[in-house]
Amino acid sequence: MKKKNNRPVEVDIINFGRYSKWDRDNAALPEFIELTTEVVAELGVEFGMIVEIRKARNRYLDFVIEHPPFTDETGKVAPPFTGTFRVKHNPYQFFLGDTIWAPVGDKRGPWTMTILEGDEVLATKTINLI
């Protein structure tokens, strides 16, 4: 039986703000462009944060992206974006963010990105789309 890992996970925010377009099918992180908490809302602009995670190899962490209210393709208000990812090695860098799509107007406002282990917040950053 495998022993549960009780070591606390260490997470540092490396940078946040604007990034180059991110290819989600490629392992490479997007290129950092500008350190900022305010990003002009324009089509295709990539924003978010890059974190470095230590002492968590092979553990699964969760993320939540809370965003301004906008409707999805069914006409309902879209819930926060959520997901889980595996920390593949130590240290591990992870990009959490999004890109702006049409219509732009309903994407303006605060976008809060959070990485969690269970109920514990490991890192959080809010980017305001203006």
Reference 108, options 24, 19, 39; nearest CA is 39
Interval 30-58: pLDDT, tens: 999 999 999 999 999 999 999 999 999 99
Report the mean per-residue pLDDT for the chain: 93
101: three-class secondary structure by DSSP: coil
Phi, psi of 105 (to 5 degrees): -55, -40
What pLDDT is stored for residue 1 in this prediction? 40
Reference 49, options 91, 11, 89; nearest CA is 11
- Are 116 and 6 in contact, with CB atoms under 8 Å apart? no
Q: Domain range for residue 22?
A: 10-129
Domain count, the chain: 1
Whether 114 is in a domain gets the answer yes
Whether 26 is in a domain gets the answer yes
Question: When comparing pLDDT for 22 and 98, which is higher?
Answer: 98
What pLDDT is stored for residue 121 in this prediction? 97
What pLDDT is stored for residue 4 in this prediction? 53
CATH number at residue 64: 2.60.40.2390
**120: enclosing H helix or E strand:** strand 120-129
What pLDDT is stored for residue 22 in this prediction? 79
